[in-house]
C-alpha cells in the first residue's frame, strides 16, 4: 500500500468498525475491527479514535471495580520482580 492510500485504508477500516459498533450493535466484531485498525495503522488518527471507542465499549460492559482491580493487578505485575 502506498503512503497516499494509508489514510483512505485507515478511514475505511474505522468506518467498518464504527458501523459494527453503532449500526449493527455487534460489539464483539467492533472490538476486533477497532483492534485491527490500531494494528494496521498505529499512527493514524483513526487508531486514536479506535482506542477511544474500545474504551467506550469496555466502560459500558465491565463494572468499574473490575476495571480498577485489573489495572491495579497489571501495575503490580510490572513492579514485581520476574
Q: Where are the alpha helices (DSSP H) in 6-81?
A: 6-18, 27-40, 45-61, 64-79
Q: 50-82: per-residue pLDDT in tens?
A: 999 999 999 999 999 999 999 999 999 999 986
CA proximity to 9, closest of 34, 46, 35: 46
pTM, to two decimals: 0.87
Q: How confident is the model at residue 37 (pLDDT cuts 50, 70, 90)?
A: very high
**Distance, CA of 9 to CA of 18 (rounded, Å):** 14
Amino acid at each position: 500500500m502506498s503512503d497516499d492510500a494509508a489514510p483512505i485504508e485507515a478511514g475505511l477500516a474505522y468506518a467498518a468498525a464504527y458501523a459494527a459498533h453503532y449500526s449493527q450493535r455487534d460489539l464483539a466484531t467492533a472490538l476486533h475491527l477497532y483492534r485491527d485498525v490500531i494494528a494496521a495503522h498505529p499512527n493514524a488518527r483513526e487508531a486514536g479514535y479506535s482506542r477511544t471507542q474500545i474504551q467506550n465499549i469496555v466502560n459500558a460492559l465491565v463494572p468499574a471495580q473490575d476495571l480498577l482491580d485489573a489495572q491495579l493487578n497489571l501495575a503490580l505485575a510490572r513492579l514485581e520482580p520476574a
